[in-house]
Amino acid sequence: MLCKMPRMRKAMVVAALTLVAGVSTPAIAAAQAPVDPRPANNPEQKPAVAGQTDAPEQKSNVAFEVVNLVEGLQNPWGMAFLPGGKMLITERPGRLRVLGADGKLSPPVTGLPSVDARGQGGLLDVALDPGFAKNNLIYWSFSEPKDAGANNTAVARGKFVDDAAAPRVEEVQVIYHQTPSLVSTLHFGSRLVFGRDGTLFITQGDRSITEGRMQAQKMDSLLGKIVRINADGSIPKDNPFVGKDGVRPEIWSFGHRNVQSAVLNPATGELWEVEHGTRGGDEINIARKGKDYGWPTIAYGIEYRGGPITGNITQQAGMEQPLYYWDPIIGPSGMTFYTGTLFPAWKGNLFIGGHGTRDLVRLVIEGEKVVAEERLLKDLQPKPEVIRDVRTGPDGALYIATDSASARIFKLIPKK
């Protein structure tokens, strides 16, 4: 039952040391206020459990430098690290590029299928096969054009040929098609994350329009779902709904709105994801097998146009609560658990791109709780930038892709 008491932004007192991923970090200062001073869009909503929102601010006081790697990209969306210091970068209009260790950008990789680059669509995420060193396979997600203006999220794979003059992909196969296709240019998802067992998680969206939103709870639809497939596109036999009548066997979890951030927790191997809410309701979830994450039946925040979402309820039996949520939103896109060694104070912290707040969100995680938050990069000049993707590099640096018609990729390294 929803409690109508106002949600108060309370100060917290955390004494001694907080142990995060085996690393002792400085205690959160007493009586700290939340990091975001803006009022909630729905102040009457109350979190289901203490600490589910409004974590206190904790400044890590880590000194870092911003090193530009490449500029002038058109709406980059995903990054993947190649051997030898190279990087694959997607640009939403449909270009896959190779950034060399020398900072030179390749011509577009040829051989990719066409994309529908309207709205939020286009060429989206990119990932290397776990066996890339032997098979050279790469995977990419994209909005797949269909007849009469319809489209859907899709995933393809191909063998990457790293030719400096003419990089290309060969033996291309589209291994996944979201169904049904809809006439919408919004909410495609879509992050690609390989599990420890070699299966591939694909995060998706509900396509934003009412027709798609209401299918997030329909099990014969792939809208509003995280799906799990084998690397060749076949269905893992241990997926939760294999063999159930009227249920798509690809489904791993359901009731999602628009998941543009996902990563494996390095300590547990579980898939953590962050999805977009409306005006309020951005949320972190651990995407577990067969679970229902509630959209659009339960949600925090309010509709974009104002007013309650669905039945204006935030809790219901059988539906998972977010591990953490924001109201007001950050507009999450891209995330990484920091696993490098360049920044010992950040070890085990979760970093999320603030596409809406134009900053980098750092979360201190204790088990399955967010205990502190910090906003970084707000002082970048000439102005804070929209962040699209965040990755931990093999060199231990944090890599950031911005999102604009003339964007850049940079990395954070310790200040000398």
177 catalytic? Reply is no
What string of DSSP letters covers 101-113? TTSPBPPPPB-PP
Give the whole-angstrom CA distance, residue 387 versus residue 333: 7
Number of CB atoms found within 10 A of residue 84's CB = 8
> Side chain identity at 92, as an amino acid letter?
R
Provide the phi-psi class of 79: left if phi over 0, else alpha when psi is between -120 and 50, else beta.
beta
Number of CB atoms found within 10 A of residue 7's CB = 17
Q: Using the 8-state DSSP alphabet, how is residue 85 labeled?
A: G
User: CB of 91 within 8 A of CB of 85?
Assistant: no
> Side chain identity at 245, as an amino acid letter?
D
Q: Record the tokens describing residue 103, joined without a space.
A: 């900072």
Burial of 180: CB neighbours in 10 Å, binned 0-12, 13-18, 19+: middle
CA atoms 379, 381, 386, 388: torsion sign: negative
Give the whole-angstrom CA distance, residue 96 versus residue 84: 18
Give the whole-angstrom CA distance, residue 382 versus residue 389: 20
Beta strands in 192-244 (DSSP E): 192-194, 200-203, 225-229
Q: One of 187, 256, 276, 355 is an active-site residue; which one?
A: 187
Q: Record the tokens describing residue 335, joined without a space.
A: 């995330």
Place of tokens 């994350």: 193
3-state secondary structure of 211: helix
3-state secondary structure of 138: strand
Give the whole-angstrom CA distance, residue 180 versus residue 150: 9
Which are the catalytic amino acids? Answer: 187
